[in-house]
Amino acid sequence: MSFFNKILSSVGIGAAKVDARLSSDKISLGEELKGIIHVQGGNIEQQIDEIYLSLQTTYVKESDDKKYEQAATITKVKINEPFVIMANEIKEIPFSFPLPSDTPISLGSSKVWLETGLDIKGAVDPSDKDYLEVVPPALVQTIFAALRDLGFNLRKVENEAAPYHLRKRLPFVQEFEFYPTGGQFRGKLDELEVVISNISNHGVELLLEVDRRARGLGGFLSEALEMDESKVKVTFTQGDQASISRTLENVIQRYS
């Protein structure tokens, strides 16, 4: 191998390349993310110390009354042990791992992507980025449908830095903001904010923040003091499918 080629590959020219080829870029929470890592050797042989898959997203964080976007790693998976890839050699390595249940759903501004990287000693590490469409599981879809039937439209979805009492494995929560455009809650609520957590094969937990609309002087004073909001937790299991709409209606009514 020429010294010139070694110098070029160290800065990424003529070096090995990586490409994740997904079985499908559409996946539901709880399913397995599957595919093949395609590694194309460069102009010289190279030592590959590690191939990693990193599931990434961003969230909004506020500091000094300013909002900015912060990157977050949902999970990182090591695929292989060190190996050498020869010049122009092609290797294909299958992978499979479960999508974490706290991965954001692909709605609104919430984006999720898979970053594939090669860790090459003494050289620029090449990487590849593939966006995923993360769809909600059936139980969450039923919840969204029930809210639509109650007259709520989904207005905004955003990953936001989690307050201390809501922080779990990840530093953010995904917030769904609904606005009543019809039905019995129109004119009574400003909005309904929903945070979904503890998604599993057995059920799901919702944190609802019911934001009441100000009515009269007392209502405006309450709104100014942020006393017009009520927070309540609701848990649904797979066996609750038929009663979800009625339960949500009763809970929202109670705090409206």
Long-range contacts of range 174-177, CB-CB < 8 Å, 24 or more positions apart? 174/104, 174/105, 174/110, 176/107
Structure tokens at 147: 């809210």
User: What is the arithmetic mean of pLDDT over 185-213?
Assistant: 87
Task: Please give the residue range of the domain that contains residue 212.
Answer: 138-254
Quick one: what percent of the chain has pLDDT higher than 70?
Answer: 84
Q: What is the pLDDT, as a whole number, of residue 255?
A: 83
- 8 Cβ contact partners less than 8 Å away, ≥ 6 residues apart: 14, 15, 43
Dihedrals φ, ψ of 253, to 5°?
-60, -45
Q: What is the pLDDT, as a whole number, of residue 126?
A: 59
How many other CB atoms sit within 10 Å of the CB of residue 165?
A: 5
Structure tokens at 199: 């998604």
Q: What is the pLDDT, as a whole number, of residue 213?
A: 58
pTM of the model: 0.82
- Residue 16 amino acid letter: A
Structure tokens at 73: 């790693």
19 and 130 in a single domain? The answer is yes
Q: What is the pLDDT, as a whole number, of residue 112?
A: 96
User: What is the arithmetic mean of pLDDT over 178-199?
Assistant: 90
Q: Domain end: 114, 135, 156, which one? A: 135
Domain assignment present for 175: yes
User: What is the arithmetic mean of pLDDT over 236-247?
Assistant: 92
pLDDT band at 211 (very low <50, low <70, confident <90, very high): confident
116 and 127 in a single domain? The answer is yes
Domain assignment present for 231: yes
Beta strands in 79-186 (DSSP E): 83-85, 90-98, 112-120, 127-135, 152-161, 172-180
pLDDT band at 85 (very low <50, low <70, confident <90, very high): confident
Q: What is the pLDDT, as a whole number, of residue 3?
A: 42
Number of domains in the chain: 2
